A = this chain, B = another copy of it.
Amino acid sequence: MSNTNDTRERIVKVAKSRFHNRSYADVGIKEICDMASIQKGSFYHFFPSKRDLVLAVIDEFAADWAYGFVAEAFDPSLPPMERIDYLIDAAYFWQRSSKELNGHIPGCLFGNLALEISTQDDILRAKLNAVFSSAKQRFKGTLDEAIEQGVITPLDSELTAEAMLAYLEGMILLAKAENDPEVIYRLGSALKNIRIELNTLI
């Protein structure tokens, strides 16, 4: 019951930052243990494997994200399409401040991991896919609301949501390749204009 022990939290905290700023393969257990000031035995007391650690990292990161600035961006009291602008802003400032700290844009942890290990580990891939799925739902909800309010003309909100997520991830990818957060700033405006029409034919 007591929670005097924060070892597990320290491990995940260190791992979150390392995995986000580097890559899954490049960050070793030893390094994580050193930074968390523990020994390997302790690590393997809490996590049966490196994969289980990154699974926990994904969970925590997704939770941080969902209850952090994404919750702010998708604030129901904001007009729906403004939430998308807000999201872009948040992404921009986050990447920019990360660069100021570490010299490099870390990009999106989920996108990074997805491209690194999707072909190598189906369980991790499925987990990341689930994260993307819930992100998609955020977009879809926003779009549905905007349609309902008559702010935008009807469209295929499911597909458009997926397209928006794709565009967001793509922007972040290019920004990372250029190591320049301004990419997000200058491309961001197109996000909320992406549309995939309802297929009424046939």
- Residues of A at the B interface (CB closer than 8 Å) are 21-23, 25-26, 102, 104-107, 111-112, 114-120, 122, 125, 128-129, 132, 159-160, 162-163, 165-171, 173-174, 176-179, 183, 186-187, 189-190, 193-196
B residues within 8 A CB of A111? 115, 173
B residues within 8 A CB of A163? 167, 171, 187, 190
B residues within 8 A CB of A194? 167, 190, 193-194
Task: Name A179's contact: one of B23, B125, B190 (CB within 8 Å).
Answer: B125
B residues within 8 A CB of A102? 119
Given that A23-B120, A118-B107, A194-B190 are contacting pairs, would A171 and B173 also be in contact in the complex, using a CB cutoff of 8 Å?
A: no
| Cα distance A189–B160 in the bound complex, in angstroms | 11
How far, in Å, is A50 (CB) from chain B's closest CB? 13
Copies of the polypeptide in the assembly: 2
Asked whether A187 lies within 8 Å of B176 as measured between CB atoms, the reply is: no
| Cα distance A111–B107 in the bound complex, in angstroms | 12
Q: Which residue of B lies closest to A23 (CB)?
A: B116
Asked whether B196 lies within 8 Å of A190 as measured between CB atoms, the reply is: yes
| Cα distance A116–B161 in the bound complex, in angstroms | 26
| Cα distance A139–B42 in the bound complex, in angstroms | 52
